[in-house]
Chain A
Amino acid sequence: MTPLLQLDNVTKRFGGLIAVHDLSLQVEQGAIVSLIGPNGAGKSTVFNLITGIYAPTSGSIEFNGRQLNGLRPDLVAAAGAMRTFQNIRLFAFMSVLENVMVGRHVRMHATAFDGALRTPRAVREEQAVTDRAMELLEYVGLTQYASEWARNLPHGMQRRLEIARALAADPTLLLLDEPAAGTNPAEKQQLMSLVESIRARGVTVLLIEHDMKLVMGISDYIHVLDHGDKISEGRPEQVRHDPRVIEAYLGKGA
């Protein structure tokens, strides 16, 4: 079976800086794959390459049998890869419900004409999208905050709202950029079980995480980046004992 996402020898340079160097990785359908590494390792750059903020300097990114190199972010979303952001980027002054509904944008068909005239087609679609968004809010446990401004939610809930927003488009691949950053230990645990249950719904997950311990329990496969290079990969128990990983995290001689 061909993998859902495949990066082949991807390099990204910013001037003299090589942010990602000759990176190859595969994400199998239905897996939870984690990308870990210390700060500045190039993890978020990998996400930005996949989701179309940057085009790779060289190499190829293939998703669902389709070349993604430099494809616009909205088209990457349409192709079925949705993401969250390390520094939460919700639509602050839109309601929680509207945030999730925006996530559904790419799967909706109503034109401006439909919207302005409230054609039966648009009204039906709007109702279906509202129902679907409410289901997702229930799934992440935010039902009671549906009409609240997104910015009024506490940090942990904002993280979950971002996930619900990304799920609204029925993605085949969900890219989570440090979903547990800045949350307390109980919330971290909650988020990780949320990630597992998302995979159980049939969504493949590529997860960036800074905290290695957190992903050990749920990842099928882990890639470790340091300074733009992949220094290790394997199943969690293999990576955990890899001396290069320990060195990258703790420094030489640890």
Chain B
Amino acid sequence: MKRVELPLGFGTASPMQLAAALAGLILLALFPLLDRNASHVSAVADAGYFVLLVFGLNIVVGFAGLLDLGYAAFFAIGAYTYAMAASTQFNLHLNFWPMIVVSACVAALFGVILGFPTLRLRGDYLAIVTLGFGEIVPQVFLNLDKYTNGPNGISNVDQPTIGAFHFGFNPTPYYYVYFVAILVCVVLLNNLRRSRIGRAWMAIREDELAARHMGINTTTTKLLAFAMGASFAGLAGVIYAAKLTLISPDEFNFSVSVTILAAIVLGGMGSLLGVFVGGVLLALLNFLILPQATNWTHALGAHLHLPALMSLDFTNYRYMIYGAILVLVMLFRPEGLIPTASHRAELRVKR
């Protein structure tokens, strides 16, 4: 079948793939207009920060092969950077838009700082150390209560404006901020993946020693992966803090890191489309499907006068459901839903 040349370095696609991609894009672009229920739009917008996190961690884990279990730390750093710079906390009210860049840079800087001690580590050892960092960072925010209000977190975070337009608590503008951010990130990541640096990351993933002998400075290349991955989390953190207007340390614990990793494994490690789908699925399950299912069950329970149904809350079983999904994926499709060709091949060989 004839293949169509795509713009922006996306290579070629069959007309069917192109049509599906365009339809998906248009549907996502128009979603807030099609579904006027603000809570639905809000839930799908929240999937946006999750997808950004998944993209960022995918650079570290999927491209460079460095297992990072403390990734939520950078999300926390991004969110706190914005919350401290744009709230009543210090009565600093810096503008949202430049703060996106600033927070991404701050998170990237911490990516380098926390990445540096792990450079000699691989596999399990790297995972344990990053896990430690992931625990330390929220603890620091919790205990620096002079600056962060400790467990109460920072409230009254500024909401963005564009000229005279205030975002307020309307989820639609946030949805579009995420939409644009994700589009930009997809283009950048897709380019990066097939560039000199992208190949260097994959070479390190495949054989670090050989990569060094091919002239790759593994120190800077790995730090670049940590920094870039962290900057995505910083970006996500800013929009997250602005939309919620309230952040506290317990929103950035280990379970966040693990859920992001689970989405990557579910979608297909290293594959951009795969991790996007994995991220959207887990996020929608969490923000939309489980709360909705709970509502319906409560309504059904009220109708049938069954107290057991009325007290059932599916969101409490979130991790059980994630776990079940992961087990099923690992059993029946270990390479993820939409894997890269190389990852599929790798798992086939190893099995």
Contact = CB atoms under 8 A, between A and B. Distances in A.
B210 interface: yes
A139 interface: no
Nearest to A107: B215
Nearest to A150: B206
Interface in A80-132: 82-83, 85, 89-94, 98, 101-103, 105-108, 110-112, 114-118, 122, 125-126
B214 A169 contact: yes
A115 B211 contact: no
A73 B213 contact: yes
Interface string B329-351: 00000000000001101100100
Given A85-B210, A93-B206, A149-B342, A115 B191 contact: yes
A117 B188 contact: yes
B207 A91 contact: yes
A33 B202 CA distance: 34
Interface in B210-233: 210-218, 224, 228
A44 interface: no
A90 to B, nearest CB: 7
A66 interface: no
Contact of A103 (B194, B214, B345): B214
A12 B218 CA distance: 25
Nearest to B340: A93
B203 interface: yes
A77 interface: yes
Given A74-B217, A108-B196, A110-B196, A116 B210 contact: no
A149 B191 contact: no
Contact of B218 (A74, A76, A102, A106): A74
B213 A83 contact: yes
A220 to B, nearest CB: 25
A235 interface: no
Contacts of A157: none
B3 to A, nearest CB: 15
B6 interface: no
A94 B198 CA distance: 12
Contact of B191 (A51, A85, A108, A116): A116
Contacts of A98: 199, 202
A145 to B, nearest CB: 15
A93 B224 CA distance: 22
A188 interface: no
Contact of A112 (B194, B197, B342): B197
B76 interface: no
A72 interface: yes
Nearest to A152: B345
A115 B215 contact: no
Contacts of B200: 102, 105
A63 B189 CA distance: 39
A78 interface: yes
Contacts of B202: 91, 94, 98
Give the most central of B192, B196, B199: most A CB within 10 Å. B196
Name the residue among A92, A111, A115 with the largest chain B CB count within 10 angstroms: A115
Nearest to A149: B345
A51 B212 CA distance: 10
B296 to A, nearest CB: 44
Q: Which interface residue of B209, B210, B342 has the most chain A CB atoms within 10 A?
A: B210
B215 A78 contact: yes
Contacts of A111: 197
Nearest to B206: A91
A94 B196 contact: no
A51 B213 contact: yes
A11 B9 CA distance: 51
A89 B216 contact: no
Nearest to A73: B212
A82 B196 CA distance: 18
Given A94-B203, A149-B345, A105 B191 contact: no
A144 B322 CA distance: 44
A149 B349 CA distance: 12
Given A112-B192, A114-B196, 9 more contacts: A74-B217, A90-B207, A93-B343, A94-B342, A106-B214, A112-B228, A122-B195, A149-B342, A169-B214
29 contacts: A73-B209, A74-B213, A74-B214, A74-B217, A76-B213, A78-B215, A82-B215, A83-B213, A90-B206, A91-B211, A92-B206, A93-B345, A93-B346, A98-B199, A98-B202, A102-B200, A105-B199, A105-B214, A105-B215, A107-B215, A108-B196, A110-B197, A115-B198, A116-B189, A118-B9, A118-B195, A122-B196, A125-B196, A126-B194
**In the A-B complex, the 3 residue pairs with the closest CB atoms:** A115-B195, A106-B215, A77-B215
Interface of B: 8-9, 188-189, 191-192, 194-200, 202-203, 206-207, 209-218, 224, 228, 342-343, 345-346, 349
